[in-house]
Amino acid sequence: MFESFSSGYYLGRLYVEPHDGDRAVMASDDHESVNQALYSDGEGIERLDWPLVMKIEQQHFPVHAEDGVPDNTLALPDSVLENTRIRNPPELKEVLLAKADRAAQLIRFQRDHPGFGTGGAV
């Protein structure tokens, strides 16, 4: 689903569609497999439910697991979707997924600067 792109990101292609919730979500099975493949180090018991940090265009946001979302799909709330160039969803879109170190850095930044960005952005 994702391949190494740079020192900070993986690159993938997902269908992006609107979601009436308040946070970005993807299928629970997809979320867990991406978490396991890209964020775990294989040592000891690890959580596989950490939010993934993705980027579309210039916007970072956490992605959570949710049942009922189609496979290979990223469902975005209107507050995030309206800040993209996607005008006729669902649309197949290149999506960047922050590598573990980069994701941790982005989450720390958001924690230290609450309110930075819009639409739940990290």
Short-list 61, 53, 54, 55, CA closest to 119 = 61
Tell me: the pLDDT tens digits for 77-102?
Answer: 998 999 899 999 999 999 999 998 88
User: How far, CA to CA in Å, does 69 sit from each of 30, 64, 86?
Assistant: 10, 11, 19
Contact 62, 23 (CB under 8 A): yes
Say whether 51 sits in a helix, a strand or coil.
coil
Q: How confident is the model at residue 119 (pLDDT cuts 50, 70, 90)?
A: very low
* pLDDT value of position 46: 59
Longest CA–CA separation in the chain, Å? 44
> What tokens appear for 115 in the block?
């309110």
Query: What count of other Cβ atoms lies within 10 Å of the Cβ of residue 23?
Result: 18
* Residue at 36: amino acid letter: Q
- Per-residue pLDDT, averaged over 117-121, amounts to 47
* pLDDT value of position 37: 82
Q: Which residue has the tokens 């309110």?
A: 115
Tell me: the pLDDT tens digits for 41-71?
Answer: 666 565 666 789 999 998 889 899 999 999 9
